[in-house]
Structure 1
Amino acid sequence: MARANDEIAALFREYADLISITGGDAFRARVYEKAARAIGGHHTDVSTLDAKGLKEIPGVGRSIAEKVEEYLASGGVAAVEELRARIPAGVRRLTAIPSLGPRKALMLYEELGISSVDELADAIHEERLRDLKGFGPRTEENLLHGIDLLRSAGGRVHIDVAAELAEEVVAALSEVGGVQRCAYAGSLRRGRETIGDIDVLVAARTSGPVTKAFTELPYVTEVIGSGEKKTSVRTDRGLSVDLRVVPKDSWGAAMLYFTGSKAHNIKIRERAVHQKLKLSEYGLFDAESGKKIVSRTEEDVYARLGLPWIAPTLREDRGEIEAGLDGGLPEPVTEADLRGDLHTHTDLTDGLAALEDMVAAATERGYAYYAITDHAPDLYMQRMTDERMLAQREQVRALKPSRGMRLLHGVELNIGPDGGVDWPDDFLADFDLCVASVHSHFTQDRETLTRRLVRACENPYVNIIGHPTTRLIGKRPGIDADLDEVFAACARTGTALEINAHPDRLDLGDEHILRARRHGVRFAIDSDAHAVPHLAHMRYGVATAQRGWLTKDDVINTWTLTRLKRFLRKGRA
């Protein structure tokens, strides 16, 4: 089941939206937004805490703790249900459109009766919004773009949501008697950033017991179809799951077939046909006699076709088969290769955990080094000052993590509208590293945005460009900059590009990584953690890096500390 923390965080985010939509107190809405972040990022399962333990979570007072207890006891919160009843569900759906806030969504409903995304799109095309205050042609353009983003996401969810559900299903079915092997396949195994549905593969002699256990899982809401070989269900996570049961002897062929991608499989089958073979989910067969040749492992199937095993994250028909034939397949970077994390936050700015807690969690991950990079002063809402940052540096220097982990004191700088950053060179010179990121002015013209990023790369103290395109998957598109010019500037200046591992970002994405790699850019896979649980997001950043064909030598935080420090000097004397 989903963590109670995540369920309550989602409920409180909805409550904050409902308060805003109904014209409630803005401060109260922000209180619940902050509580949602704090609970979602809290390392302890809130269902194990009493009232006192709940109130020890930052941002959780008596009233919020009581609502948490109410939800844990009954599965709902009366105050939330009351506000839900006042607003049509379609109006809440409107708030999912990027650039449309709760108050404007309510205005559209009250003034024009708009209560669905389709009705809003029609109203924009009919120019019915233009008489409303705050809705001009530019707003219409932004809303249409936001609707396109929302529709393009369809029923897809972020990779972390899919991974959590898939791992629960695999764990449950692995315990069923007669199950010999169980794993997920499909786009999730390939590390795609969003997932439409989940494919689970089971090897068993008979399908009956595993199918019964599958359809009776507590989060299954509907059985779409059930048969001897395939069963499909809908779940309460917004995802469908397909279960396929095959003989153990067919495991390798089935894993290859159901992992995909479709384009990769077509190329593989074409290669089989040229060798007078036939490939299916049950094995590789002689096309004339029908005799099974290999099927038990993916390695066997690939080898019989004259190929090395190809990592699932590479199977997108981007030249991986040709590279395999030529001996040019990369050995993809793995999570085990990572020696540290170079972009993380604490509660000094917008993080949820204390410095000591973040460092302790990083130590448990076995890192050789770990960087604290709280925000600099240009993000004024973080209330950073020179004095606060220097005081943190003293704290960092005083800490002595176990297992010999080295702490690095860094900063996340803001790349201003002109490409400048928060502090002058003489102040920046004393940081161990500097991440620089765009946090505002996303709609500048292409030339200005390009110049802005290039100027940041040329700063001798900027080591990493954080979340380079600024995108939020399904919510905000990446900025319109000439990325090839930016990639060239990074390679020229010795500035790394971040692969931000947060599932909402995964920025750079795989296609941009492939382009940047051709320029000779180095990369940093970072969690951008704002809470202890976020440190585990690194797995998604690694999958994205693999999809971009990166090896560990391409990624600076797989290097030894000595080599990393040389890179961070950026050619300075």
Structure 2
Amino acid sequence: MARANDEVEALLREYADLIAIRGGEAFKARAYEKAARAVGGYPQDVSVLDAKGLREIPNVGRSLADKILEYLRTGRMPVVDEARASVPPGVRELVAIPGLGPRKAMLLYEELGISSVDQLVEAIRQERLRDLKGFGERTEDNILHGIAVLRKAGEGRILVSAAMDVAEQLVAELSAVRGCVRCTYAGSLRRMRETIGDIDILVAARRSAPFMEALTAHPQTIEVIAHGEKKTSVRTATGLQVDLRVLPPASWGAGLQYFTGSKAHNIRTRELAVRQGLKLSEYGLFDAESGESITSETEEAVYARLGLPWIPPTLREDRGEIAAGLRGELPDLLAENDIRGDLHTHTDLTDGLAPLEDMVAAAAARGYAYYAVTDHAPNLSMQRMTSEKILAQRERVRALDGAHKRMRLLHGTELNIGPDGTLDWPDDFLAEFDLCVASVHSHFNQSRQELTRRLVRACENPHVAVIGHPTTRRIGKRPGIDADFDAVFEACARTGTVLEINAHPERLDLCDEDILRAKRYGVKFAVNSDAHATTHLPYMRYGVATAQRGWLTTDDVVNTWPLTKLRKFLEAKGT
């Protein structure tokens, strides 16, 4: 069920890592990394392209196009197989540790013979790393933290976006099976958690057999774990478990509520039922004494009989939603159609994959009222930005403004928050941008005090409107920085600086728990895609879902506001 683009992207990223591990030329590794990103973000399915079509993808030349065609035809890419054979498997395992890197992984293997995560943990306990150049006590702490992140991510969980791709395809296919009354996904995916352990699919139908057969016979099913009348579990080719349950149509509402969870939320609802002399299960809401069915066909009816409004799935985590519902104080949550514009995006002027005109057209097609282009600033040296380039882009943005009549364009930049909190350009230059996003892109291992001061200083700059991906985390790959975020949240509230909820599925930064904390300080937020390709703009859905999990409304999110209100807010920040 994975796109061919995703498979090729993963293969090219692996090859880039292998080049780096083997001590190959840095430019070659970067070239394959860029090509991987380009293929992953390309809007067209690469499996239907010929060599000429593949060469139209940015950073894909003739030689690489031939390699991709060979992989699509045979399932193998010989240069990758050769590179794999020359690198000990254990070293590749070490490279996966967030923050370690290929060169240090190879050094550990060559100097200490370390070829597994367990061996590395033992070596740290014995303090054997401290004699190696570039390693020390702080490095050891960072590696142990990275190992913890890696192991947590490896507990059979995948990103919400990957799970959603699979679930939506299965729901569409099962909905087309004769006899289907209703079909949807449930579980942690419906609650839009950032990672998903397995996928729960529910079907309402009078006969279950056709649906169970459809799932077990699906081309992506490689293993049938369990096959029954009410539930069938399978494993897909990517190792993902899918659980299918078929419910009687009359039990749909109760079943959907039960299998959506969370477990803690369901305990609360069952306790509420018991106090009212009722019994709640996946089959319905019943009178506890007589067993008479009270209601079950819709979630709304089940919640209403318990004295509650319908509670959005993204809130069902036992974080006070039951009490708020009983008081009539549930928030009117942000919805994706409330978003009026995207305030953090990139083009091929820096590390984006699509030209300005394509990004603007794709944003207009989403119905946005405004759209900000925020390419990287010069201190991220690999992007080779200059003042001349950014000013030339501004002229292009101004010329395009009005080309899509319902959408206004903003010209911004994503600044780099330096190790001391300084930014790329002087204040008088920054004052000319419509919008400045500032983000940490390097020096992640500074002390807690240094990282905190760094972020606070950026907040205090009158030209910084938004702090981008505030913790810098990449889910399962890099932990967030160790800063005092309560101090950062207080600084944002004091200075009127907006915190980003970065919608990229690998980031979702801020996460829901941080959003809940920041909201208590009175911080405002912006949900942005951080798109580097036209195909990334729809990631907004995951950012909105994360905002919902943080109990946010349109009042909390500045890019739901009309442009005039947003401009006034941004101007107030600069005064």
TM-score bin (small chain): over 0.9
Amino acid across the alignment from 2:326 = L
Question: What is the distance in 2 between the residues matched to 1:392 and 1:105?
Answer: 41
Q: Which residue of 1 aligns with 2:199?
A: 198
Cα distance in 2 for partners of 1:296, 1:454 equals 52
In the alignment, which residue of structure 2 is the partner of 1:97?
97
Per the alignment, residue 32 of structure 1 pairs with: 32
Distance verdict in 2 for CA 1:101–1:481, change over 3 Å: closer
Distance in 1 separating the partners of 2:295 and 2:56: 58
Aligned residues between the structures? 573
Pairing of 1:4-403 with structure 2 (within 5 A):
4-130=4-130, 132-153=132-153, 154-399=155-400, 400-403=402-405
Give the match for residue 417 of structure 1: 419
Mean Cα deviation higher: 464-473 or 97-106: 97-106
Determine helix, strand or coil for the equivalent of 2:551: coil
1:214-257 deviations in whole A, cap 9, x for unaligned?
01222222111111111111122232111111111111111110
The 2-side partners of 1:202 and 1:194 are apart by 23
Amino acid at match of 2:415: L
- Equivalent position amino acid for 1:468 in 2: P
Which of these residues, 545, 549, 554, is aligned with residue 547 of structure 2? 545
Counterpart CA distance in 1 for 2:482 and 2:15 is 34
Contact kept? 1:493, 1:570, Cα under 8 Å:
no
Question: Alpha-carbon deviation of 1:407?
Answer: 0.4
1:82 Cα deviation from its structure 2 partner: 2.6
Listed one character per residue, the Cα deviations across residues 519-572 of structure 1 (whole Å, up to 9, x for unaligned) are 111110000011111111100000000000000111111111111111110254
Check 1:108–1:444 CA distance in 2 against 1; reply closer, same or farther (3 A cut).
closer
Which residue of 491, 502, 527 corresponds with 1:525? Answer: 527
Distance 1:502 1:441 in 2: 22
TM-score norm. by structure 1 comes to 0.97
Alpha-carbon separation, structure 2, partners of 1:222 and 1:94: 30
CA distance in structure 2 between the partners assigned to 1:23 and 1:221 by the alignment: 38
* Distance (whole Å) between structure 1 residues aligned to residue 430 and residue 308 of structure 2: 50
Percent of residue pairs identical:
72
TM-score of the superposed pair, with normalisation by structure 2: 0.96
Q: Deviations over 1:279-333 (max 9, x none)?
A: 1111111111111111111000000000000000000111101110111100110
Q: What corresponds to 1:448 in structure 2?
A: 450
State yes or no: 1:466 paired with 2:433: no
Per-residue Cα deviation, 1:443-500 (whole angstroms, up to 9, x for no partner):
2222222222222112111111111111111222222222222212212221111000
1:205 is paired with a residue whose SS is coil
Quick check: 2:251–2:296 contact (8 Å CA) kept in 1? yes
Amino acid at match of 1:279: L
Amino acid at match of 2:293: K
Unaligned runs of 5+ in 2: none
Q: Report the 3-state secondary structure (helix = DSSP H, G, I; strand = E; otherwise coil) of the residue aligned with 1:232.
A: strand
Does the Cα contact within 8 Å between 1:461 and 1:570 map onto a contact in 2?
Answer: no
Note the alpha carbon deviations across 1:128-186, whole angstroms, 9 max, x for none.
44455544433322221111111112221111111111112112211222222111111
Q: Please say if residues 205 and 248 of structure 1, whose CA atoms lie closer than 8 Å, have aligned partners that are also in contact.
A: yes
Structure 1: how far apart are the matches of 2:521 and 2:403?
A: 37
Q: Measure how far apart 1:118 and its partner are.
A: 2.2
Q: Distance in 2 between matches of 1:480 and 1:221?
A: 42
Contact residue 463 and residue 573 of structure 2 kept, 8 A: no
* Counterpart in the other structure of 2:567: 565
Amino acid of the residue matched to residue 278 of structure 1?
Answer: K
**Within 2, Cα distance between the matches of 1:401 and 1:118?**
58
Aligned-partner residue type, residue 64 of structure 2: I
- 2:502·2:510 contact (CA, 8 Å) conserved in 1? yes
Matched letter for residue 449 of structure 1:
L
- Amino acid aligned to 1:175: A
| Distance verdict in 2 for CA 1:460–1:132, change over 3 Å | closer
Secondary structure of residue in 2 paired with 1:80: helix
Give the letter aligned to residue 178 of structure 1: G
Please state whether the residue corresponding to 2:371 is helix, strand or coil.
Answer: strand
| 3-state SS in 1 of match to 2:349 | coil
1:298, 1:36 → 2: CA distance?
Answer: 43
Root-mean-square deviation over aligned CA pairs? 1.6
Q: Which amino acid aligns with 1:137?
A: E
Contact 2:204 2:246 in 1 (8 A): yes
Q: Is the 8 A contact 2:98 2:479 kept in 1?
A: no
Q: Equivalents in 1 of 2:21, 2:486: separation in Å?
A: 42
Cα separation, partners in 2 of 1:377 and 1:166, compared to 1, 3 Å: same
In 2, Cα distance between equivalents of 1:448 and 1:141: 17
Q: Secondary structure at the match of 2:572?
A: coil
Say which SS state the counterpart of residue 402 (structure 1) adopts.
coil
CA distance in 1, matches of 2:131, 2:452: 36
Aligned-partner Cα distance in 2 for 1:107–1:459: 41
Structure 1 residue 116, shift from structure 2 partner = 2.7
Q: 1:500 to 1:426 in 2, by over 3 A?
A: same
Query: Equivalents in 2 of 1:389, 1:182: separation in Å?
Result: 49
Distance in 2, Cα, partners of 1:166 & 1:500: 23
Structure 1 residue 62: Cα displacement: 0.9
Aligned mates of 1:339, 1:411 — CA distance in 2: 19
Question: Matched residues in 2 for 1:45 and 1:227: separation?
Answer: 36
User: Residue 35 of structure 2 aligns to which amino acid in structure 1?
Assistant: A
Q: Which string of whole-angstrom CA distances, capped at 9 and with x for unpartnered residues, describes residues 89-148 of structure 1? A: 443222111122223333444554443322322333234444555444333222211111
C-alpha change, 1:90 and 1:242, in structure 2 (3 Å) is farther
Change (3 A) 1:413 1:24: closer
Worse-matched range after superposition: 457-466 or 542-551: 457-466
Q: Distance in 2 between matches of 1:456 and 1:83?
A: 43
Deviation, 1:88, is 4.5
Shift of 1:86: 3.5
Instruction: Name 1:435's counterpart in structure 2.
Output: 437
Select between 68-77 and 350-359 the one with higher mean Cα deviation: 68-77
Are the structure 2 counterparts of residues 506 and 116 from structure 1 closer, same or farther at C-alpha, using a change threshold of 3 Å? same
